[in-house]
A = this chain, B = another copy of it.
Amino acid sequence: MVDILHRVGVVGSKDDVYAAITSPDRLAAWWTEDTTGDGDEGGVLKFQFLPGGFDMKVLETRPAERVLWEVVDGPAEWIGTHVRWDLHTEGDYTIVMFSHEGWREPVAFMNHCSTKWATYLMSMKQLVETGTGAPAPNDVQISNWH
């Protein structure tokens, strides 16, 4: 089992970062505009992109501290994996410790998703800090896989 790991620091409160990863409206402002569903514990969030989408079951929400999703629909490589968000404060920053855990094999698509997650995390950071993110379909293109 292999994991994607990232860390970004957002100049903003933990509450604002927590809202950015639990509210469908806020998620739509940094990840993909076509975001629906329920970001509270027990809910399912649906993230749709042009080529397909991901459905996330919300396993755990601890306000301003932690969010844990399980991928219940999407690409085969994603199903059953977990997306974990842990927040803490360091000075002016809310630190986001991010992991997308439980990939069965380090396939090329995992490399792609790792880089892509980094650009989306920067989009989330920009959203909280400036009010404007870069969600799909206007996200940063990193390669021929978009």
Q: Show the binding face of A for B, using Cβ within 8 Å.
A: 2-9, 90-93, 95, 97-99, 106, 108, 110-112, 114-115, 118-119, 121-122, 125, 140, 142-145
- Taking the closest CB of chain B, its distance from the CB of A18, in whole angstroms, is 17
Q: Can you list 30 A-B contacts with CB-CB less than 8 angstroms, sorted by A residue number? A: A2-B2, A2-B3, A5-B106, A5-B110, A5-B111, A5-B114, A6-B114, A6-B115, A6-B118, A7-B111, A7-B112, A7-B114, A7-B115, A7-B142, A7-B143, A7-B145, A8-B142, A8-B143, A9-B144, A90-B144, A91-B144, A95-B143, A95-B144, A97-B108, A97-B111, A98-B111, A114-B118, A115-B121, A119-B122, A122-B142
* A99 / chain B contacts, CB cutoff of 8 Å: 111
Q: Specify which of A4, A5, A98 lies most central, judged by the most chain B CB atoms within 10 Å of its CB.
A: A5
Q: How many copies does the complex hold?
A: 2
CB pair B9–A142 under 8 Å, yes or no, is: yes
> How many angstroms between the C-alpha atoms of A2 and B142 in the bound complex?
24
The CA of A125 and the CA of B141, in the complex, are separated in Å by 11
In the complex, chain B residues whose CB is within 8 Å of the CB of A106:
3, 5
